[in-house]
Structure 1
Amino acid sequence: MAPSYSSGYGNSPAPPSYTSSSYHDYGTRDHGDFQSICDDILAGARTFWRRLWAYGQGQGRHSAWSVTMKGGQQLRRNLVRRRIFSFPHLLVALWMLVLLWGERWTFASSVRNCDWDHWEDWPSGATPHRLIFVADPQIIDPHSYPGRPWPLNPLTMRITDNYMRRSYIQLQEVLHPDTVMFLGDLFDGGREWKTARGNFDDPDWAKDHRPAHEQELMKQWNKKYGQEYWLKEYARFGDLFYKSFKLGGDYPGAGQRGRKLISSLPGNHDLGFGAEVKPPARHRFNAYFGETNRVDVIGNHTFVSVDTVSLSAGTSSMKDKVDLHGIYEPVHQFLNEVKATKRRAVQRELRFWRGETEELVFEQKIEDLDSGDYSALPTIDPGENGPDFPTILLTHVPLYRNPGTPCGPLREHSPPAKPPAGQDTPVIPDHGNAISVSNGYQYQNVLSDEDSIRLIKSIGNVKHAFSGDDHDYCELVHSEQKENVHEVTVKSVSMAMGVLSPGFQMVSLYNPIDDQGNPLAGSPGPTLQTHLCLLPRQLSTYINYAILGVLTVLVLAGRAFLLPVLNLQPFALDPVQRAPSAVLPIFKAKTEAEGGDDYDFISTSSATSSKVPSARVSTTRPRGPSLSNGLVSYARNASPKPRRDKPGPGKWGWGQNRGPRIEIRRDSYYDGKGRGDTWKPATRPRTTFSLVTRDIWTTTWRVVWMVLLFFAYLMYQG
């Protein structure tokens, strides 16, 4: 018998020897004796690891080997042609194709339908600049669904990120845009995550503006989500959009200067809105995304990006109550100088195409500081009469319009109202089809009328405007007061922003000019064409999954009910019958007295358990031992005494003496429950009901876990 500390398998390490110093009377111990506590901890750790090592060398190793063998046997039973090409696995293959379509191929198909050649209408030989606007990705974070339990929030983030990643990858690989520009709201809770420096608290006058459910979470947000979390979100945004930009190619289209990605326009979820914009959040945004107010010349058009969420502080109701100059003054200064900035940007572009240096070269000379003439400094600005490209205004918040101004037939939330008979113009007002002119905590659906007019007048020559914020599509031409600017509010690219069909806006720019920046004779009148590209409806995809799931269960159930009718092969395997410790019977040599009665002596191992394979006695006389189909047999005479050719003592053995046939059957077991022990069949005949229900469960579970595993793989890959 193995010692009490032994595992029972082979030689185990000796138990740790404990001396009297290993034990202490904790009632009298000096609790300040730190060294003795450390000794006890180390002794306990050594004991634990010794016992763990002993278990691994003995019983643990045998258990692992047993599990491995059982797993291998089960795998071998499944890896046969009949089961690999079985009906449930055909359904799994069908599911894989459906999942590949819903999680991969449908994105490529939707984007491919928006190819430039399908809708561009330029003269033959034109080389347009191709640009795409992406609005409101608003990546999901703890601010999006406060209070949602742990598994759901990460799952929502993964699903929405995958949707945008797949859409954006196809956008780059299929469309190869020359420029991609974002229209704000890059994050959902960017304004809430504390900066490393600066006062990030809400001002006293604004503390009651925050919704009640957010006020309860402020302490938790301030504690858990700070600068480090924002940097992780910045890296997450880059992984979604910056990383895949190179998939669009290293070089722009023919005749274009270069590829660009511009994401510096902020939204109210990035900084806040109006009087409640947080300057530390804006400084951080500028540092990582670039200047929020800027001028870019792209495709012979001038793009002016304006931080309108900060501009709105200048017309807010709090302007005369608190000092907001730090919020709106940078935007005012930019607008005061924007026309000259535009002219200089156009001149740099023209100088580049003429092969000249883009910046002005000053003459080298030495002058006295007091006598120097600064009135006529050289400048690249040609003055108000210089050439100007068509200007495009970019603002996160749409321009003001009268309440009920319709947005057109492409708006998803509500189609335009049907005009009465005989009326050709749209119904006005049409509140269902319009952007609501309203505001609330940290948002305003449209700019004020004053700010909208100031933008148009300050910038000048504005032909088009593109905005975001609303998440749905809206297109209209503004009034003469706003110089008939054609504005397009771009759909959100995210599936979590309240639109069934997310999308992005494609813009084709073609403005041929001479070396002085003047339009060429005979060039087309409109220099810009747009197209709304719709992405897959993720909700419809999930509905299709649900319908296919129900059909899969019904088909598997129908097949199971047909098993006894059509005598089909069940998918469920019969359980393997095992007698854990049983060994085969053996003959033991025995000397027989002459004339005495002969008996068969059958011994079994002492390790045999209470349940051993059954034995069946037969009177047939085979010539020797037989092994057929897993049944071991021995034979003897049917008469009580064996016959011998020669008198005298003999030995019981394989050939000379014949014993009773003992058959070890696989389909039986020994029921050793006490007195009256009997041999019973191991597999009882199954009823039709049990056969059907067992096959339904087995096939359904097989399809479910394989499909879920493949879906998880697709989710993990993005």
Structure 2
Amino acid sequence: MAPPYSNGYNYGYPSSTSSYDYGYSLRNNGDFQSICDDIFAVTRTMLHRMSTYANGPGRRAAWNLATKAVQQFKRNMTRRRLLSFPHALFALWILVLLWGERWIFASRVNSCDWDHWENWPAGTTPHRLIFVADPQIIDPHSYPGRPWPLNPLTIAITDNYMRRSYKQLQKVLHPDTVFFLGDLFDGGREWKTARGDFEDPDWAKDHRPALEQKYLKEWRRKYGEEYWLEEYGRFGNIFYDNWGLGGVFPGAGQRGRKIISSLPGNHDLGFGAEVKVPARHRFNAYFGETNRVDVIGNHTFVSVDTLSLSADSSSMKGQVELQPIYGPVLEFLKGVKATKRRAVQKEVRFWRGEVEDLTFQQKVEDVDTADYTNLPTMDKGESAPDFPTILLTHVPLYRDPGTPCGPLREHWPPAKPPKGQTSPVIPDHRNAISVSGGYQYQNVLNPEDSVNLVKSVGNVIHAFSGDDHDYCEVVHPPERGNVREITVKSISMAMGVQIPGFQMVSLYNPIDGQGNPMPGAPKTTLQTHLCLLPQQLSTYVTYAVLGALTVLILIARAFLVPVLNLQPFALDPIQHPPSALLPIFKAKSEGEDGGAFDVKPTSNTSSSKFPSARMSSTRTRGQSISNALGTQARGASPNEKTKGKWGWGQQGRGPRIEIRRDAYFDETWKPAAARSRARAVGSRIEIILREIWTTVWRVVWLVLGFFAWLTWRG
């Protein structure tokens, strides 16, 4: 009887079993150990084969590649190659790229230097402040569906534009204070918070555009608190990390340097009734209180979260509970005048050399008999000195439709007035900010909110806003306090304006020891200047034109190389040893038997007569080589005659003749002059094509590599 089938493994079955189970059983430790042994054995075999390849063919292949690379590097590092025409073009490109990616930013910001436009009396020490509006850093919300690598490239280019502008802003201008006017992020309101209900309310779910509805589930799944923190770090890398470039110490006569970025935009929180309260709590935690009062340069700056304020006048008020949205800002505005007075008194006490905060007498009193009527306070009442107030809001104040924005607006210049008219054309809808709104935005505040805001803050001499991305300057009517308002340009190149910018403000308000203006102080305590940054589209057009000229110049040079006998840039291909698979020499014997034979020096053979056993002949037709061998060849032994293989030309195998190309491809039927001209034309075309490819490719990869390095460096 035949023994039961076995494959060499026993997986816990009795040896007498007559059936074979193709599955593995893991019912005991022996089975598991056997499987582990198999895995280890396969792993050891693979590692052994990899090691054998690495120590044998792999090492030789790596050595050959390294040798070829070194050889190619040596050929390229000659003076002829380094000082060649394509490299001269690359040197020109280096200058152009440094100009477009670095120097032009310094040049533009230098042209905005404070001394170029400030107009204060001699010896003054103004406080110098800069407003930055709508950086709105690019994220998945900006261009949903844009594929890789286009989206990361857009992010890198726009971030670098703002970073380079801001660096020069700090290095050249050294501002004492920098204020951000909202929209720090583009999709900040969309990225979920760690806590709180972040879903859209049921009544607002159909407000989203169809494009956003398409990506909403993906955003909720992929982007949350961790992603927002990464974006916060990215914002800080652009702006906070470069703050120190402006210096550690403030300007003469100034209290200190400040950077304030707590004013939110609708892309950070939402707008009106659809403000995301959890997003606002997160924004407050990382950027500071959205409603605040700051005394800077003897002026009072009041920042107001007008996004949340707009919920109070929303059409949804009364239908849904909106008090958590607008409640905090209304509470702030209710006491903002007292807050302003206290802030002014703290500033005055500082300049008098006193302790800024209140001091209280320490004593023990009974709660029932304690007197609370004469407690120390910073608020001296409405008769106390008040500094000129500057209102900061992300959304511009209301204005009548068609109110012109002035000649500095980029989108559309003001309409030309009729002959004889000196005042601007009103209405001028093309030059104006559109009085309209949509999902999570409104171009201007509601009329009632604007009036109440100016009245609540009080003593507003100027307002600054963002949101529109373009410059706009208007003077509001008396019901809004005749306030002059400037809507600041976006600093980003991706916000629909070809020439981004920022707003410079110079403040000078000399005061006495009580906080009142000094005699002879200027009536206007604030001067402004719009600083325009490089037009990136113009820079890219310059690159495109220079790129086209570069290719044309290299093509023209390639055609001139064979004509003027110029030094070619393309290297001749490296001549590798011929393959041993096909012979290039053929041994030939003209003996009587026609067989192959070998010639080996013997004791009777002089080394001077045969310096080498390997012989080569370049004889022509009809010329015999047998006479040159003489009797030595005929005296060779039979074994030695048959050692060699015909046609391989091994050492000591006898004479060889070279197999020439024309032996197989006879072109004698063509006239000699025609053959010569054809070869010359073919050679010239080959030189031209090789020069075009080599020079264009060399310049292209060098230029792209340098541009990539500049982009990576930021």
Q: TM-score, normalised by structure 1?
A: 0.86
1:688 to 678, 684, 694: 684
Counterpart residue identity of residue 393, structure 2: T
Mapped partners of 1:49, 1:671: distance in 2 = 52
- How far apart, CA to CA, are the structure 1 residues paired with 2:384 and 2:636? 135
How far is 1:125 from its partner? 0.1
Q: 1:699 aligns with which of 692, 695, 699?
A: 695
User: For the Cα contact (< 8 Å) 2:599–2:654, is it kept in 1?
Assistant: no
**1:600–1:659 contact (8 Å) kept in structure 2:** no
Q: In structure 2, how many angstroms separate the alpha carbons of the residues matched to 1:214 and 1:659?
A: 83
Q: Is the contact made by 1:411 and 1:472 (CA closer than 8 Å) also made in structure 2?
A: yes
Aligned to 2:430, the other structure's residue is in SS state: helix
Residue number among 272, 289, 292 corresponding to 1:291 in the alignment: 289
Amino acid across the alignment from 2:433: I
Match of 2:602 among 591, 595, 610: 591
1:617 counterpart residue number: 618
Tell me the CA shift for residue 369 of structure 1: 1.9
Q: Pick the aligned partner of 2:628 from 640, 653, 657.
A: 640
Distance between the aligned counterparts of 1:690 and 1:273, measured in 2? Answer: 66
1:664 shift after superposition = 9.6
Residue 162 (structure 1) aligns with:
160
**Pick aligned residue for 2:25 from 14, 27, 30:** 30
CA 363–601 in structure 1, closer or farther in 2 if over 3 Å, else same = closer
Matched residues in 2 for 1:342 and 1:298: separation? 12
Q: Deviations over 1:119-160 (max 9, x none)?
A: 000000000000000000000000000011121111110000
Q: Tell me: CA distance 1:351–1:539, structure 2 relative to 1, closer, same or farther (3 Å).
A: same
Compared CA separation, residues 594 and 365, structure 1 to 2 (3 A) = closer
Contact 2:599/2:636 (8 A) holds in 1: no
**Cα distance in structure 1, aligned partners of 2:452 and 2:241:** 37
Counterpart residue identity of residue 193, structure 1: W
2:532 is equivalent to residue 534 of structure 1: yes
Deviation at 1:216, TM superposition (A): 1.7
Deviation at 1:580, TM superposition (A): 5.5
Give SS of 2:335's match. Answer: helix
Letter in 2 for 1:375: T
The 1-side partners of 2:663 and 2:51 are apart by 38
Q: Work out the CA distance in 2 between the residues paired with 1:177 and 1:430.
A: 35
- The structure-2 alpha-carbon separation of the partners of 1:76 and 1:616, relative to structure 1 and needing over 3 Å to count, comes to farther
Instruction: String of CA shifts for 1:487-508, please: whole Å, max 9, x gaps.
Output: 0000000000000000000000
In the alignment, what sits opposite 1:627?
none
- CA offsets per residue over residues 658-716 of structure 1, 9 Å max, x none? 99998999xx899999xxxxxxxxxx874322221221111000000111111110010
Structure 2 CA distance for aligned equivalents of residues 256 and 691 of structure 1:
69
**How many angstroms does 1:376 deviate by?**
3.0
TM-superposed CA distance for 1:415, in Å, is 0.2
1:233 is matched with: 231
| Worse overlay, 25-34 or 84-93 | 25-34
- 1:22-64 deviation digits (Å, cap 9, x = unpaired): 9999833237866655544443333222211111111111000
For residues 571-602 of structure 1, the C-alpha deviation after alignment (integer angstroms, 9 at most, x for no partner) is 1111112125669999974338899xx99985
1:432 has 2:423 as partner: no
Contact 1:593 1:648 in 2 (8 A): no
Q: Does the CA-based 8 Å contact 1:618-1:660 persist in structure 2?
A: no
| Distance (whole Å) between structure 2 residues aligned to residue 264 and residue 306 of structure 1 | 10
Greater Cα offset, 547-556 or 71-80 = 71-80
Instruction: Pick closer, same or farther for the CA change 1:280–1:43 going to 2, 3 Å.
Output: farther
Structure 2, unaligned runs of 5 or more: 1-6, 13-19, 588-597, 641-651, 666-678
Cα contact 1:419–1:425 (8 A) shared by 2: yes
Q: What's the counterpart of residue 264 of structure 1?
A: 262
Alpha carbons of 1:61 and 1:246: their partners in 2 closer, same or farther (altered >3 Å)? same
Alignment map for 1:424-503 (pairs within 5 Å): 424-503=422-501
C-alpha distance after superposition, 1:588-622 (max 9, x if no partner) = 74338899xx9998569xxxxxxxxxx65269xxx
C-alpha separation in 2, matches of 1:72 and 1:594: 46
CA distance in 1, matches of 2:34, 2:708: 51
Say yes or no: does 1:274 pair with 2:272.
Answer: yes
Does the 8 Å contact 2:614/2:655 carry over to 1? no
Q: CA offsets, 1:226-251, max 9 Å, x none?
A: 00000000000000000000000000
C-alpha separation between the residues in 2 aligned to 1:289 and 1:26?
A: 69
Alignment-mate amino acid for residue 235 of structure 1: G
Cα deviation for residue 373 of structure 1 reads: 2.4
Would the aligned equivalents of 2:109 and 2:172 in 1 still touch at CA under 8 Å? yes
Note the alpha carbon deviations across 1:185-230, whole angstroms, 9 max, x for none.
0000000000000000000000000111111211111110000000
CA distance in 2, matches of 1:648, 1:367: 136
How many angstroms apart in 1 are the aligned matches of 2:59 and 2:685? 41
Distance in 2 separating the partners of 1:671 and 1:36: 68
Instruction: Please give the alpha-carbon distance, in whole angstroms, between the structure 2 residues aligned to 1:466 and 1:594.
Output: 108
Tell me the residue number matched to 1:624.
none
Deviation for aligned residue 1:395: 0.2
1:517-575 Cα offsets, whole Å, 9 max, x none, are 11111111100000000000111111110000100000001101111221112211111
C-alpha separation in 1, matches of 2:486 and 2:710: 35
Tell me if the contact between 2:108 and 2:533 (Cα under 8 Å) persists in the aligned partners.
Answer: yes
Q: Which moved more, 1:573-582 or 1:185-194?
A: 573-582
CA 1:387–1:671: 2 relative to 1, 3 Å = farther
Give 1:689's aligned amino acid: I
Q: Quick check: 1:331 aligned with 2:358?
A: no
8 Å CA contact 2:89–2:550 kept in 1: the answer is: yes
Q: Which moved more, 1:565-574 or 1:63-72?
A: 565-574
The answer to whether the aligner puts 1:401 opposite 2:399 as a matched pair is yes
Aligned to 1:4: none
1:73 matches 2:71: yes
Give, in whole Å, the separation in 2 of the partners of 1:537 and 1:569.
41
Q: What is the RMSD computed on CA atoms of the aligned residues?
A: 3.1
CA distance in 1, matches of 2:664, 2:281: 81
1:520/1:601 CA distance change after superposition, 3 Å: closer
CA contact (8 A) 1:191 1:281 kept: yes
* Aligned residues of 2:134 and 2:492 also touching (Cα < 8 A): yes
Determine if contact 1:572/1:694 at 8 Å carries over to the other structure.
yes
CA distance in 2, matches of 1:501, 1:94: 26
Which one-letter code corresponds to 1:369 in the other structure? V
How far the C-alpha of 1:371 sits from its partner, in A, is: 2.5
Map of 1:710 onto structure 2: 706
| Residue range with higher mean Cα deviation, 30-39 or 156-165 | 30-39
SS at match of 1:303: strand
Partner secondary structure for residue 559 of structure 1: helix
Q: Which amino acid aligns with 1:511?
A: N
Residue 297 of structure 1 aligns with an amino acid whose one-letter code is: V
Q: What secondary structure, in the 3-state scheme, does the structure 1 residue paired with 2:390 have?
A: strand
Larger mean Cα displacement after TM superposition, 60-69 or 568-577:
568-577
Does the Cα contact within 8 Å between 2:613 and 2:654 map onto a contact in 1?
A: no
> What residue in structure 2 maps to residue 416 of structure 1?
414
Q: For this pair of structures, how many residues does the alignment match?
A: 651
Show the counterpart of 1:224.
222
User: Whole-Å Cα distance in 1 between the matches of residues 101 and 663 of structure 2?
Assistant: 54
**2:96 alignment partner, SS class:** helix
Partner Cα distance (2:511, 2:406) in 1: 33
Equivalent residues in 2 for 1:128-277, closer than 5 Å: 128-277=126-275
Q: 1:506 to 1:36 in 2, by over 3 A?
A: farther
275 and 588 in structure 1: CA distance in 2 versus 1, 3 angstrom threshold: farther
* Secondary structure at 2:628 match in 1: coil
Q: Tell me how far apart the structure 2 counterparts of residues 302 and 671 of structure 1 sit (CA, whole Å).
A: 99
SS of 1:275's equivalent in the other structure is: helix
* Contact 2:451–2:480 under 8 Å retained in 1: yes
SS, match of residue 434 in structure 1 = coil
Structure 2 partner of 1:94: 92
